[in-house]
């Protein structure tokens, strides 16, 4: 079944500016991959890849990216998981109710209507070797916002088979947080305690990057021109975080240091 997160895809209009921006943000060199009417830049860290993609000419990939930009603008587009056996895992998820929209030898894409509204995929090839050299080492967690927690529990728990590690209500923030373990990685599902449950589609809520020395990352990003918040205590006791207010592609972004135990 699912071994962990594979990569996150972010759709942008100005490819060159966004690629330069993510190289400065992550402190990781990118690998170019063009084709199918799209330009791509891949950034590989310890536990995740980030795919930056923009339309570039004619082709099926470019058509899909243009359609996404027209419908929803820039931002996070996809969360891909690593399969242990792509064919067998895809068939199992189909039997559990996830509808396949596209299938290749390397990947299976699922219809957002069957996943709660966001684009999810399974990948049949391993992540590439990390290029991270600084204190920003990987992804701490990816956030999905939902208006229907029970639906999210069904998708990420019963259908994808991820382990629910923590389910808590925080009245102070007016939020319910559910953390699912995907291998060594985490998916956070966030729901408002103040809004009624509806069938509105889920949406991606941002990325939390993991740093061994957040103060060093904070200083580097500020010096390179990013608009960063002050360092502050995280919601989980013992953690430190800061916000990157102008991450490329408009993706809500924080950098976090995990000094407290993981959700259990």
What is the residue-level pLDDT of the chain in tens, covering all 264 positions?
A: 899 999 999 999 999 999 999 999 999 999 998 888 999 999 999 999 999 999 998 898 889 899 999 999 999 999 999 999 999 999 999 999 999 999 999 999 999 999 999 999 999 998 888 888 899 999 999 999 999 999 999 999 999 999 999 999 988 889 999 999 998 899 999 999 999 999 999 999 999 999 999 999 999 999 999 999 999 987 777 789 999 999 999 999 999 997 644 544
According to the model, what pLDDT value does residue 259 have?
66
CA atoms within 13 A on the CB side of 236: 16
Round to whole Å and give the CA distance between 233 and 7.
28
Where are the alpha helices (H) located in 48-135, listed in sequence order? 60-72, 86-95, 112-115
User: What pLDDT score was predicted for residue 184?
Assistant: 85
**Which backbone phi and psi does 220 adopt, to 5 degrees?**
-65, -45
- DSSP-derived letter for residue 133 is -
Query: Which residue, 160, 198, 200, 201, is CA-closest to 180?
Result: 160
Q: Return the structure tokens found at 208.
A: 């939390």
Cα-Cα end-to-end distance for the chain? 21
Output the CATH code of domain 2-123.
3.10.180.10
Query: In the CATH hierarchy, which fold is given to the domain comprising 136-257?
Result: 2,3-Dihydroxybiphenyl 1,2-Dioxygenase; domain 1 (3.10.180)
Q: Where in the chain is the domain with CATH 3.10.180.10?
A: 2-123, 136-257
């Amino acid at each position: 079944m699912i071994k962990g997160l594979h990569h996150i895809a972010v759709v942008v209009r100005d490819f060159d500016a966004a690629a330069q921006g993510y190289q400065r943000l992550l402190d990781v060199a990118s690998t170019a991959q063009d084709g199918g009417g799209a330009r791509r830049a891949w950034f590989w860290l310890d536990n995740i890849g980030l795919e930056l993609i923009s339309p570039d000419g004619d082709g099926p990939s470019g058509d899909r990216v243009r359609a996404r930009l027209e419908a929803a603008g820039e931002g996070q587009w996809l969360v891909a998981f690593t399969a242990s056996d792509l064919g067998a895992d895809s068939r199992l998820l189909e039997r559990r109710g996830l509808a396949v929209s596209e299938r290749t030898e390397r990947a299976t894409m699922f219809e957002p209507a069957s996943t709660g509204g966001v684009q999810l995929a399974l990948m049949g090839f391993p992540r590439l070797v990390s290029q991270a050299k600084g204190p920003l080492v990987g992804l701490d967690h990816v956030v999905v916002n939902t208006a229907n927690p029970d639906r999210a529990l069904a998708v990420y728990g019963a259908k994808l088979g991820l382990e629910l590690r923590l389910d808590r209500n925080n009245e102070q923030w007016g939020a319910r947080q559910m953390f699912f373990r995907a291998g060594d990685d985490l998916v956070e599902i966030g729901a408002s305690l103040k809004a009624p449950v509806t069938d509105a589609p889920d949406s991606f809520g941002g990325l939390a990057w993991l740093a061994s020395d957040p103060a060093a990352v904070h200083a580097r990003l500020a010096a390179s021109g990013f608009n960063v918040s002050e360092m502050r205590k995280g919601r989980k006791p013992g953690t430190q975080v800061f916000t990157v207010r102008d991450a490329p592609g408009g993706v809500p972004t924080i950098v976090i240091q995990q000094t407290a135990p993981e959700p259990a």
